[in-house]
Structure formats: structure tokens, C-alpha cells
Amino acid sequence: MPDAWDVPLLTEWLTGFRDAVDQAGEELTALDSAIGDADHGSNMRRGLAAAVAAVSQAPPADCGAFFKTVGMSLVSNVGGASGPLYGTLFLRMGTVAGTAGTLAIQLFGECLQAGLDGLVQRGKAQPGDKTMVDAMLPAVRAYDEVAADGGPMVSALTAAAQAAAQGRDGTTPMEAKKGRASYLGERSVGHQDPGATSMTLLFETAAKVFA
């Protein structure tokens, strides 16, 4: 297997993410019932189903087009805040990927960083605010460390997935500063963040593609 993403592998990633969110649907909804409006699971399922349908009906010509198609599908079909957040993440990845047919370890890292920057800019969340940033930021840092040593991709993505899971677990004692959960103040402490949970699934699924 080549050590780089291409459109078929990205499609495998997206499909795997959809399946993972489908399987975790009840867990995501339960987490979001505790501190949110109980729709993260169903919203993400609807958005990802639309994204998978969009890339299968008209297979994108390059990696940038792939990410843009996914981003716009999420933007128009998720409904809740995770729509513009995940949408911005994928749209920014698409801007960096451009017309590239493959994304090797360095360029994919730049895509991830642009996605993270977009996510932070859109949501204005800081680390420690109990959001998906708390999973993605350590994931991108961990990816970059392995990428700086030359990879391979599976090692970088596995490190990213482990860091995301740690970051997700770290959201439990945090007090929410963003979104519906922030209205609960200190009563949000003790609950794992649903957004950080789905974000971890995104990285875990990416690692599986190259495993």
C-alpha cells in the first residue's frame, strides 16, 4: 500500500467514519443528552450519510474536491453546530489539498493543521473548553511529531488516534465553555464531551485505513 492518501482511501475513511458514528450513535446521543440537546449522534449520522452519498454519486476528481464535497454535505445536512464546525474543518483541508491526487504524510499534516485552525477560528474554542478541539489539537500535535520523523503514515495516524482518545477522556472533568453545555456551568463537569468523542472516532478510523 502506498504511504499516502488518495480519493479511494479518503472515501474508505469517510465510509468508516460514518459506520463508526452509526455504531456509536446511542453513546453519542447519551453523552449529548447529559449536557447538550441529544442530537449529536443523529445529526452526524444524517450529515455523514449525505456526505457518503455525495462522493459515491459523483466521485471527486482530486483530494481537494473530495474534502470540499464532504464539507458542504455536512454544512447542509447536519443541522446543529457540528455542521459548520466539521464543515469548516473539511473545507479548509480541501483548500490546502487543492488539486493534489495524493496526500503524503507532510501535505496531509498541513491539511490537518488548516482544518484545526478553521475549527478553532469558527468555534472560538480554546483548549480546555470541553469541545472537539480538546481531541483534535493533541491529535494533530501527535501526528506532527511522527511526521517530523518521517512516518510512516500508519504510525502518525495511530499516534494521533491515541492522543485524540486521551484528549477526549480529558474532557470529562472540564467545565464546558462553549455551546449548549456551557449554560450548565459547573454542572457540565463529570460528563465526556460528545464532540470530542466523535472527533476521536474520526482519527481512529483514519488510522484503521492504513493499518
Residue 72 or 100 with smaller CB distance to another protein: 72
Q: Smallest distance, Å, CB 178 to another protein?
A: 10
Q: Smallest distance, Å, CB 181 to another protein?
A: 11
Residue 46 or 168 with smaller CB distance to another protein: 46
Name which position in 87, 94, 109, 167 contacts another protein (CB under 8 A).
Answer: 87
Distance CA 34, CA 37 (A): 8
Residue 75 or 154 with smaller CB distance to another protein: 75
Binding residues for another protein, total number by CB under 8 A: 21
Q: Smallest distance, Å, CB 102 to another protein?
A: 27
Name which position in 16, 79, 127, 152 contacts another protein (CB under 8 A).
Answer: 79
Name which position in 11, 43, 131, 197 contacts another protein (CB under 8 A).
Answer: 43
Name which position in 64, 94, 123, 167 contacts another protein (CB under 8 A).
Answer: 123
Per CB under 8 A, 38 contacts another protein: no
Q: Smallest distance, Å, CB 198 to another protein?
A: 15
Question: Max alpha carbon distance in the chain (Å)?
Answer: 48
Per CB under 8 A, 77 contacts another protein: yes
Name 5's bridge partners.
Answer: 103
Nearest to 205 by CA among 9, 5, 16: 16
- The site for another protein (CB under 8 A) is made up of 39, 43, 46, 72, 75-81, 83-85, 87-88, 91, 122-123, 179-180
